[in-house]
C-alpha cells in the first residue's frame, strides 16, 4: 500500500528549494485560514493521519538521495498514536545529524509529529500540525501537482469518514483526562481508490502495527512499555488516544 505513485520520485534530483537552517519558520509555521478551518471539522486523529501522509511525501522526495531508516520508522510509528492500545516512542534526533536541504526537511517533518507527542497537553489542536506539515510539504515538493491532488483527495476521504459530524463526540468531557481525539484512523484512508470503512480501522491499524513490529520498527510501544522511555514523566496522562469505533 503506497500513498505515493510508484516511481514518482525515482528521478528526483538534488533539492532546488530554499533552505536556511537558521530561519526555518517561514517554510511551514503559519495557518492559512481556509485550510485550517476545514481541518478543524475532522477529528484530531484524522488530522494526525493527514500529517503522517504529508510527512511520507516529504521522506519519499528525499528517499532517492537519503532513505533514512530512523525517520521512516518514526513517521510510520506515529500511526500507533491513532489507537488505544499502542503508542509512539518519543524520539528527538540530534539537529546536527539532519542538516541541509536533504536531511533538514526530514527532521522538520519528524519535529512536527513529535510536537503532537510532546505538547498535546498544551495544544491539543492537531489541525495545527497537519497544516504546518502541509505547508512544509508544499515547500519541499515545490508545488508538486501529484502531492496536491493526493492531499485534496485524502482530505475529502477523511471528511467523509472521520469528520466530527460523522463520528460525533466533539464536546470534551470535563472529567476526561484529555481532549477527545476521535476514533481510530487507518492508513488506507489516505490511498484514493482503495475501499475504506472506518469500522475496519482498528483491524487495519493493528495489522499495520504488527507488520512494523515484525520489520523491527523500534518506535512502537505496547501497553506493557508505556512510559519506559521516561518513567518519571508526570504528564503522561496528557497523551490521548483514539477509541474503538462501535459497529
For residue range 106-122, what is the model confidence (pLDDT) as tens digits?
999 999 999 999 998 88
110: which 3 cell numbers?
519528524
Confidence band for 243, pLDDT divided at 50, 70 and 90:
very low
Distance, in Å, from the CA atom of 174 to the CA atom of 244, rounded to the nearest integer, reads: 21
Distance, in Å, from the CA atom of 90 to the CA atom of 229, rounded to the nearest integer, reads: 8
Total Cβ atoms within 10 A of residue 152: 11
197: which 3 cell numbers?
470503512
Give the DSSP H/E element, type plus range, for residue 88.
Answer: strand 87-88
Do 183 and 162 touch, CB atoms closer than 8 A?
Answer: yes
- pLDDT of 98 > 70? The answer is yes
Amino acid at each position: 500500500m503506497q500513498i505515493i505513485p510508484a516511481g514518482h520520485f525515482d528521478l528526483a534530483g538534488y533539492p532546488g528549494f530554499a533552505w536556511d537552517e537558521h530561519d526555518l519558520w517561514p517554510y511551514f509555521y503559519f495557518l492559512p485560514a481556509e485550510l485550517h478551518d476545514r481541518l478543524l471539522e475532522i477529528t484530531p486523529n484524522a488530522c494526525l493521519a493527514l500529517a503522517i501522509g504529508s510527512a511520507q511525501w516529504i521522506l519519499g522526495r528525499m528517499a532517492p538521495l537519503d532513505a533514512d531508516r530512523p525517520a521512516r520508522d518514526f513517521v510510520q510509528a506515529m500511526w500507533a498514536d491513532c489507537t488505544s492500545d499502542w503508542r509512539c516512542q518519543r524520539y528527538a534526533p540530534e539537529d546536527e545529524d539532519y542538516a541541509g536541504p536533504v536531511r533538514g526537511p526530514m527532521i522538520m517533518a519528524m519535529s512536527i509529529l513529535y510536537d503532537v507527542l510532546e505538547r498535546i497537553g498544551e495544544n491539543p489542536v492537531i489541525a495545527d500540525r497537519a497544516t504546518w506539515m502541509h505547508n512544509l510539504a508544499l515547500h519541499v515538493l515545490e508545488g508538486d501537482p501529484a502531492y496536491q491532488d493526493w492531499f485534496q483527495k485524502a482530505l475529502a476521504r477523511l471528511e467523509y469518514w472521520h469528520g466530527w459530524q460523522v463520528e460525533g463526540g466533539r464536546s470534551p468531557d470535563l472529567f476526561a483526562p484529555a481532549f477527545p481525539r476521535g476514533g481510530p484512523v487507518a492508513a488506507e484512508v489516505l490511498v484514493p481508490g482503495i475501499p475504506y470503512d472506518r469500522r475496519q480501522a482498528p483491524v487495519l491499524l493493528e495489522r499495520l502495527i504488527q507488520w512494523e513490529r515484525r520489520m523491527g520498527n523500534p518506535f512502537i510501544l505496547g501497553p506493557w512499555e508505556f512510559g519506559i522511555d521516561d518513567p518519571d514523566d508526570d504528564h503522561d496522562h496528557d497523551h490521548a488516544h483514539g477509541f474503538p469505533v462501535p459497529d
